[in-house]
């Protein structure tokens, strides 16, 4: 087919019949508003001709940009709004809202071949668009986001400046899949043409009071997101945790100590420690056993074996109050240990003294102070 015939032929949209299913111009494509946008196509650099159309903004039947034997032309090219690469990709010099929509490109590989037609859906995104749902106060966490909240605290999750608007929902992750919790979705258009979606809940704890795992899930079938869910592991604050009597565990220095978490089926847990003189619990590790199976260890000395925490060579500095808070989406549990470490020095004493010492937390601490 001669090139001039091609131009006049495909200029008439009605007879466009040869639609290629190839992936030379993938669809949809996303371009950033205000930037130089490129609608990517990967044809050979020696294509004979290319015609770009956008029926909704340009006169039906007129290509706004043509490439024929390396000569560029068309209203959109002459005005400086568009340009084209030799591989057929379209350059939009300054992307604005009017550039959104469906484009059609007709390609002639060689002067003799039939034209191939491609459709590309182009969506815009804002420079501030977040490609993952963002849970409040979890912005900078790459692994498990952990928060300690009161049971009626508000949790919200946002996707900023998306187009089209992306619905979000909050779910409770359990060992048996995700469960609905009551939440409210708001979609704001203050930055129109972009939309900010926000979902909030005050029911983070549902019926599992001590530890809960919430998932903020975005529904976007366009493939616009890097990740369609974000997680937050939420522990209820100390005041609302049940009172549990600690179990005292004695361990000889340099031996291996294993502290078990709850006997129930556990979907997520946190292990924490409070030093003998301390007032607050600090995190040792967090683990999520459902979904992505995530672990986060704060202290290299503590290893997680299934749900138990293990210290290989226990030393006096490991003494303290250990707490395992666990949940599975249906119930929760808190287990507390008082770990007391005694040293080899005791071996030289009589058995009754050993008994007396290891039976006495206070005494053990006194000895430690002297060691
Ligand atoms: C098309 O060519 C341009 C310029 O060489 C290049 O930047 C772009 O990545 C190419 N696109 C594809 C899909 O190969
Ligand atoms: C792009 O267009 C916007 C408005 O449509 C304008 O404010 C901005 O200056 C333009 N940018 C360039 C680089 O021309
Ligand atoms: C996240 O990091 C940014 C910049 O580093 C900072 O401005 C912001 O306060 C941080 N957010 C949180 C929740 O830590
Ligand atoms: C959760 O809520 C959505 C929308 O309200 C509903 O379509 C879905 O069936 C619910 N799922 C469950 C497990 O209740
Ligand atoms: C933005 O939202 C308001 C209220 O929901 C609505 O009245 C208005 O038409 C919307 N604006 C645009 C540009 O969509
Ligand atoms: C999120 O992405 C996963 C895998 O990419 C997919 O299986 C799941 O259906 C998506 N969920 C939603 C709500 O789009
Ligand atoms: C943990 O469980 C194991 C076996 O299930 C048991 O031998 C061990 O004594 C337990 N540890 C504590 C500190 O209760
Ligand atoms: C973890 O638990 C499984 C089954 O409950 C058991 O077979 C395995 O030995 C345990 N692993 C460790 C390191 O305790
Ligand atoms: C602690 O005291 C009890 C009773 O006084 C005694 O039977 C036991 O042997 C002592 N030692 C340990 C390690 O519990």
Residue to mutate, 338, 352, 359, 362, ligand 9, most ligand atoms under 8 Å from C-beta: 359
In this predicted structure, the answer to whether residue 295 has a pLDDT above a threshold of 60 is yes
How many angstroms separate the CA atoms of 210 and 333, rounded? 7
Q: Which residue's C-alpha comes closest to atom 7 of ligand 5?
A: 189
Ligand 7 contact, 256 CB (< 6 A): no
Question: What are 297's strand-pairing partners?
Answer: 285
Work out the percent of the chain whose per-residue pLDDT is above 70. Answer: 84
Does the Cβ of 40 fall within 6 Å of ligand 1? Answer: yes
Q: Which pLDDT score is estimated for 360? A: 56
Query: Residue 233: what pLDDT?
Result: 94
Strand 29-32 relative to strand 247-252: parallel, antiparallel, unpaired?
Answer: unpaired
Give the model confidence (pLDDT) of 103-150 as tens digits.
Answer: 999 888 887 778 888 889 998 888 878 889 999 999 876 678 999 998
* Mean per-residue pLDDT, 281-302: 91
Q: Is the CB of 85 under 6 A from ligand 1?
A: yes
d(CA 120, CA 104): 6
Residue-wise pLDDT for 70-109, tens only, equals 899 999 999 999 999 999 999 999 999 999 999 999 888 8
Question: How many angstroms separate the alpha carbon of residue 99 from the centre of ligand 7?
Answer: 65
Listed in sequence order, the residues at least 6 apart from 195 whose beta carbon sits closer than 8 Å to its beta carbon are 161, 162, 163, 164, 165, 166, 187, 188, 189
Cβ of 240 below 6 Å from ligand 1: no
* pLDDT > 80? residue 367: no
Helices H / strands E in the chain, number of each: 4, 27
pTM (whole model) above 0.85? no
Place 211 in a pLDDT band, splitting at 50, 70 and 90.
very high
Gap from CA of 257 to ligand 7 centroid (Å): 9
* Cα distance between residue 174 and residue 172, in whole Å: 6
Best residue among 94, 97, 98 to mutate for probing ligand 2's pocket (most ligand atoms within 8 Å of CB) is 94
Query: Ligand 1 centroid vs 62 CA: distance in angstroms?
Result: 25
Query: Counting atoms of ligand 3 from 1, which one is nearest the CA of 138?
Result: 13
Cα 204 from Cα 86, distance rounded (Å): 55
The Cα 262–Cα 243 span in angstroms is 15
pLDDT bracket for residue 239 (50, 70, 90): confident
Beta 90-92 vs 37-39: how paired, if at all? Answer: antiparallel
What is each CA distance from 340 to 83, 86, 224, 355, 365, in whole angstroms?
74, 74, 54, 13, 8
Distance from residue 335's CA to the centre of ligand 4 (Å): 34
- Say how far apart CA 288 and CA 326 lie, in whole Å: 10
Q: State the residue for tokens 């340099």.
A: 254
Q: Which of the four pLDDT bands, split at 50, 70 and 90, describes residue 193?
A: confident
Cβ-based neighbour number of residue 371 at 10 Å? 10
First to last CA, the chain: 95
57: DSSP letter: T
Q: How many CB atoms lie within 10 A of CB 248?
A: 12
Q: Flag whether pLDDT at 48 surpasses 60.
A: yes
For helices 361-370 and 351-358, the axis angle rounded to 10 degrees is 100
CA of 253 from ligand 8 middle (Å) equals 25
CB-ligand 2 contact for 12 (6 Å cutoff):
no
Query: Which of 246, 250, 259, 260 has most ligand 7 atoms within 8 Å of its beta carbon, as the pocket-test mutant?
Result: 260
Rounded to the nearest angstrom, the gap between the alpha carbon of residue 188 and the centroid of all alpha carbons in its chain is: 22
For residue 259, which atom of ligand 7 is closest to its CA? 13
Q: How confident is the model at residue 366 (pLDDT cuts 50, 70, 90)?
A: low
56 lines ligand 2 (CB under 6 A): no
Q: What is the pLDDT of residues 160-184, one digit of tens each?
A: 988 888 999 999 999 899 999 999 9
How is residue 81 written in tokens? 């709004």
Per-residue pLDDT band at 9 (split at 50, 70, 90): very low
Q: Identify the band that residue 265 occupies on the pLDDT scale cut at 50, 70 and 90.
A: very high
Atom of ligand 6 nearest to the CA of 228: 1
Residue 357 pLDDT level (bands cut at 50, 70, 90): low
**Alpha-carbon span 259 to 271, nearest angstrom:** 10
Which atom of ligand 2 is closest in space to residue 96's alpha carbon? 5
CB 166 within 8 A of CB 126: no
For strand 146-149 and strand 229-236, is the pairing parallel, antiparallel, or unpaired?
parallel
Average pLDDT of the chain, as a whole number: 84
Minimal-distance CA residue to ligand 9 atom 8: 355
CA dihedral 316, 318, 319, 324 (to 10 degrees): -170
């Amino acid at each position: 087919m001669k090139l001039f015939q091609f131009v006049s032929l495909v200029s008439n949209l009605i007879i466009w019949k040869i639609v290629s299913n190839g992936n030379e111009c993938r669809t949809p494509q996303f371009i950033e508003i205000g930037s130089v946008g490129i609608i990517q196509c990967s044809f050979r650099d020696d294509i004979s001709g290319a015609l770009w159309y956008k029926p909704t903004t340009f006169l039906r039947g007129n290509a706004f940009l043509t490439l024929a034997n390396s000569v560029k032309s068309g209203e959109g090219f002459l005005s400086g709004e568009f340009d084209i690469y030799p591989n057929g990709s379209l350059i939009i010099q300054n992307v604005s809202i009017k550039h959104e929509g469906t484009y059609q490109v007709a390609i002639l590989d060689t002067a003799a071949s039939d034209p191939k037609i491609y459709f590309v859906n182009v969506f815009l995104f804002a420079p501030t668009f977040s490609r993952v749902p963002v849970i409040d106060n979890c912005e900078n966490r790459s692994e498990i986001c952990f928060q300690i909240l009161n049971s009626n605290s508000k949790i919200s999750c946002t996707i900023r400046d998306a187009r089209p608007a992306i619905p979000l929902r909050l779910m409770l992750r359990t060992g048996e899949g995700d469960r609905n919790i009551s939440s409210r979705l708001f979609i704001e258009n203050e930055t129109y043409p972009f939309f900010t979606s926000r979902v909030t809940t005050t029911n983070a704890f549902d019926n599992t009071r001590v530890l809960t795992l919430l998932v903020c899930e975005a529904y976007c079938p366009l493939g616009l997101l890097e990740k369609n869910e974000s997680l937050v592991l939420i522990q209820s604050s100390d005041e609302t945790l049940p009172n549990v009597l600690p179990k005292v565990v004695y361990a000889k220095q340099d031996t291996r100590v294993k502290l078990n978490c709850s006997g129930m089926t556990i979907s997520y847990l946190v292990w924490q420690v409070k030093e003998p003189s301390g007032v607050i619990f600090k995190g040792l590790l967090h683990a999520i056993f459902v979904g992505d199976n995530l672990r986060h260890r704060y202290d290299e000395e503590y290893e997680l074996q299934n749900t138990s925490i293990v210290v290989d060579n226990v030393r006096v500095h490991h003494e303290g109050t250990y707490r395992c808070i666990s949940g599975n989406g249906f119930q929760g549990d808190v287990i507390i240990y008082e770990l007391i470490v005694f040293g080899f020095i005791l071996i030289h004493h009589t058995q009754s003294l050993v008994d007396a010492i290891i039976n006495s937390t206070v005494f053990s601490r006194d000895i430690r102070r002297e060691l």
